[in-house]
Amino acid sequence: MTQPVSVAVSLPAHSALGSTLSYESEAPLAPGTLVRVPLGARECLGIVWDDAVPTATADAGGAALRPVADVLDALPPLTAPWRMLVAFAAGYYQRQVGELALAVLPQALRELDRTQLARRLKKRKPAGRVEFAPDSIAPTPEQALAIARIHAENGPFLLFGATGSGKTEVYLRAAAQALHDDPAAQVLVMVPEINLTPQLEARFAARFGAGAVVALHSGLTHPQRLQSWLAAHAGDARIVLGTRLAVFASMPRLRLIVVDEEHDPSYKQQEGARYSARDLAVLRGKLETDALREQDPGGTAMCRVVLGSATPSLESWHHSRPAEDGGRYVRLAMPSRIGDAVLPRVRRVDMRLQPRGTRIAPVLVDAIAEVVARGEQAMLFLNRRGYAPVLHCTDCGWKSDCPHCSAFQVFHKIDRSLRCHHCGTAGRVPRGCPSCGNPDIVPMGQGTEQLEEQLAALLAGLTRPDGSPLRLLRIDADSVRHKGALEAQLAQVHAGEVDVLVGTQMIAKGHDFRRIGLVAAVNPDGALFSSDFRAPERLFALLMQAAGRAGRAPGREQRAEMWLQTAVPDHALFAALKHHDFPAFAAQQLAERAQAALPPFTYQALVRAEARTQEVAQGFLSAASAAADGLPARDAVTLYPAVPMSLQRIANMERAQMLVESASRPALQHFLAHWQGTLHATRAQPAGKGLIRWAIDVDPLAI
């Protein structure tokens, strides 16, 4: 006899078909089983879900159930904690279950039938054996205490460790303990960016064997990602290293989750389901632990979660306050660097006292020369690539506006081009002003290309201690476009082949440079006066992380330095940075946010709309706001007026947003869940005519 089964398939929210569809199966199918099912005129991958009562049929007309086309029973079902994680994320971030569940599976898997999958499984490499390399260096007392507490307590843990304090060693030893306690255990280690994966993968492979470690991130090809996913799903991959998408990796024996640099905004997805991988990692640890407790009520096995950072997000810092004050995380402090290494001395250069037009202060140039003469490296950080942010005509005031965005085209001198970093529009630099013909159009502002050029001129004639010419290297998104370029350039820095390193934020965090004696932030003031209330938090984290690249090697004769070129040297942020005092900075910021009723003391969501005109985008949001009256929990939320986004137009698309705020997270979620239908209905009304797309962003990082 056949029986109905609920199957999650990739359906957008506006389909109005419910979160799952019902099909007919000849045999019972366990929840989590992968199947291929007909959907309209095509066949697609689906996941048997837990619904006791199907929510819709696969035929829009309500005809008899269509049969499941095939069952991919060569793969074990996706686990209950995995399905619960996806279901929660879909509901919390206002997406459909199937839409999210299928999106986080490898694309190559979504396209395979039973026969193709069987061929792939035959080609899989055998499981890699964990090889515990001997610990060559004893942990510091701070590391030992942190490791002991991670093993003895439940967590979640916030590992608040200074840059260079050895957080990675704590991760390695916590992983070793988890793998030792359970011979089949798996460990998930997350990093914010792809370029941080290779060095961490090398550390874990050296400790546990290359066969036990796989990478899982968007930089892999589709076959590579499928191979890594299959290894994790089968339990063969004992350690999975990945970026934010890895939080959804299928790991049936997950016992430890590490989120390195947990403060990094890259953990927040900005397209589709706008989830926070850091927050979902904490939830996943709880779901995995609850499942273990249900299987063995008297057991001690659990999935621990460790969030690590020298500059934690203010949300995580707030959650790690004492338990008697409502804290939910266990804070583990490691304020000291390894060995006798100390944090760099912070020096502030008042640019108001420098000659007009000075880009690099003479005292900083002298300091760089001294560092190079000692055989060390200097690193200059400027978070703006290109030669100059804009070209400008001094006669008529013309600027190199992007024709498709409300932004400027950036001047790249290396190929004499103007490029928009938002929509990708590119063109040649005009011979004269397009408006008045003036041939003397000049660059305004400074980018990494210009900084590299100026440094080359200022340091001309300097030599290395062996008498060879000084070597300058720039690392940014332009210089590492080709495959393998970043790894090759970082290898040069680690090998000491570079004396002065210039780059954007991609060199300012996570890298273990051992020869850096000086770090300089050339122009950090812009973020101090941003309209985004999170801008100071991001700037402090970025500067402190950049400072942490200096003086990491023990046994240094001279203390490393961090130089700040600023026009506001007395700013409270720089004062806290001078003493490497993150707790003081966090206390000041949290006090301001509590007074202004901002997160983490309130909860927010943004509804964004895109249309050909700003009037249509704002009109849709305003109509949806007016139609929200009378919805459940409406009195517990505040809907602010629709306004243009800070970057109003991208690729000829006008963008507007509306802020939704509440003092209660459940109330906000309750309202958003009911408002979804209103938004879809408004989209179909005259107010939605001309609207291209809209989306809800829960817990947004930029307002």
**CATH assignment at residue 673:** 3.30.70.100
pLDDT in tens, 330-351: 999 999 988 777 889 999 999 9
Asked, for residue 236, whether it belongs to a domain, the answer is yes
Residues 436 and 453 in one domain: no
pLDDT in tens, 302-332: 999 999 999 999 999 999 999 888 899 999 9
**Rounded CA separation 170/509 (Å):** 18
Phi, psi of 608 (to 5 degrees): -110, 145
What sign does the dihedral 413-414-419-425 (CA atoms) show? positive
* pLDDT for position 61: 46
Residue 155 lies in domain: 141-334
Which residue in 642, 614, 645 sits closest to 628, CA to CA?
642
User: What are the Cα distances from residue 199, in Å, to 110, 258, 462, 622?
Assistant: 31, 16, 32, 49
pLDDT in tens, 496-526: 899 999 999 888 877 778 889 999 999 898 8
| SS3 assignment, position 81 | helix
- CATH number, domain with residue 306: 3.40.50.300
Asked, for residue 212, whether it belongs to a domain, the answer is yes
Peptide bond into 600 cis (omega under 30): yes
Asked, for residue 60, whether it belongs to a domain, the answer is yes
Task: Give CA torsion, residues 317, 320, 321, 327, to 10 deg.
Answer: 130
* pLDDT for position 238: 92
Q: Does residue 52 carry a pLDDT above 60?
A: no
Domain end call among 292, 315, 334: 334
Residues 431 and 479 in one domain: no
Of 179-183, 549-553, 635-639, the range with the lowest mean pLDDT is: 549-553
Pair 577, 543: CB distance under 8 Å? yes
| For residues 412-430, average pLDDT | 92
**Rounded CA separation 635/296 (Å):** 44
pLDDT band at 42 (very low <50, low <70, confident <90, very high): confident
- CATH number, domain with residue 68: 3.40.1440.60
Residues 438 and 455 in one domain: no
Task: Specify the higher pLDDT residue, 675 or 135.
Answer: 675
Q: Does residue 1 carry a pLDDT above 90?
A: no
pLDDT band at 60 (very low <50, low <70, confident <90, very high): very low
* pLDDT for position 275: 95
Average pLDDT of the residues of the chain: 90
| For residues 421-432, average pLDDT | 92
DSSP 602: S
Of 154-168, 192-206, 220-234, 369-383, the range with the lowest mean pLDDT is: 192-206
Pair 351, 567: CB distance under 8 Å? yes
Asked, for residue 129, whether it belongs to a domain, the answer is no
Buried b (16+ CB within 10 A) or exposed e, 102-121: bbbbbebbbebeeeebeebe
Asked, for residue 268, whether it belongs to a domain, the answer is yes
Write the CB contacts of 466 (distance below 8 Å, at least 6 apart in sequence). Answer: none
| SS3 assignment, position 618 | helix
pLDDT band at 54 (very low <50, low <70, confident <90, very high): very low
| For residues 175-194, average pLDDT | 92
Strand order in the sheet with 417-419: 410-412, 417-419, 426-428
pLDDT band at 673 (very low <50, low <70, confident <90, very high): very high
**Rounded CA separation 557/2 (Å):** 78
* pLDDT for position 14: 58
**Rounded CA separation 245/32 (Å):** 19
Residues 431 and 572 in one domain: no
Task: Give CA torsion, residues 24, 107, 281, 141, to 10 deg.
Answer: 140
- What share of the chain has pLDDT > 70, as a percent? 96
Peptide bond into 156 cis (omega under 30): yes
Residues 553 and 624 in one domain: no
Residues 47 and 116 in one domain: yes
Write the CB contacts of 319 (distance below 8 Å, at least 6 apart in sequence). Answer: 158, 327, 328, 329, 600
Type and span of the H or E element at 5: strand 3-8
**Rounded CA separation 277/100 (Å):** 13
| For residues 227-243, average pLDDT | 92
Q: Does residue 113 carry a pLDDT above 90?
A: no
- As a three-state string, the secondary structure of 367-395 is HHHHHHHCCCEEEEECCCCCCECEEEECC
472 torsion bin: left (phi>0), alpha (psi -120 to 50), beta (else)? beta
Residues 546 and 587 in one domain: yes
Q: How many CB atoms lie within 10 A of CB 72?
A: 18
Pair 232, 76: CB distance under 8 Å? no
pLDDT band at 490 (very low <50, low <70, confident <90, very high): confident
* pLDDT for position 628: 94
Cα Rg of the chain (Å, integer): 27
Strands 516-521 and 42-48: what pairing?
Answer: unpaired
With vertex at residue 245, the alpha carbon angle to CA 243 and CA 246, rounded to the nearest 5 degrees, is 70
pLDDT band at 555 (very low <50, low <70, confident <90, very high): low
Residues 423 and 532 in one domain: no
**Rounded CA separation 467/364 (Å):** 22
pLDDT band at 259 (very low <50, low <70, confident <90, very high): very high
Pair 420, 410: CB distance under 8 Å? yes
* pLDDT for position 435: 92
* pLDDT for position 699: 95
DSSP 268: B
* pLDDT for position 128: 67
* pLDDT for position 265: 93
Asked, for residue 247, whether it belongs to a domain, the answer is yes
Residue in the block written with tokens 């697609």:
44
Residues 557 and 667 in one domain: no
Domain end call among 536, 569, 594: 594
Task: Specify the higher pLDDT residue, 174 or 342.
Answer: 174
**Rounded CA separation 89/84 (Å):** 8
- What share of the chain has pLDDT > 90, as a percent? 61
Residues 625 and 693 in one domain: yes
Residues 212 and 310 in one domain: yes
Pair 700, 532: CB distance under 8 Å? no
Which residue in 601, 595, 698, 593 sits closest to 326, CA to CA?
601
Query: What is the pTM for the complete model shown?
Result: 0.91
Asked, for residue 571, whether it belongs to a domain, the answer is yes
* Domains identified in the chain, total number: 5
Residues 114 and 76 in one domain: yes
pLDDT band at 271 (very low <50, low <70, confident <90, very high): confident
Q: Does residue 62 carry a pLDDT above 60?
A: no
As given in the structure block, the two tokens for residue 78 are 């996706």
Count how many residues are written for the chain.
703
| For residues 628-648, average pLDDT | 94
Pair 594, 551: CB distance under 8 Å? no
Q: Does residue 69 carry a pLDDT above 80?
A: yes
As given in the structure block, the two tokens for residue 177 are 């303990």
* pLDDT for position 622: 96
With vertex at residue 399, the alpha carbon angle to CA 395 and CA 404, rounded to the nearest 5 degrees, is 150
Task: Give CA torsion, residues 616, 621, 622, 626, to 10 deg.
Answer: 140
Asked, for residue 215, whether it belongs to a domain, the answer is yes
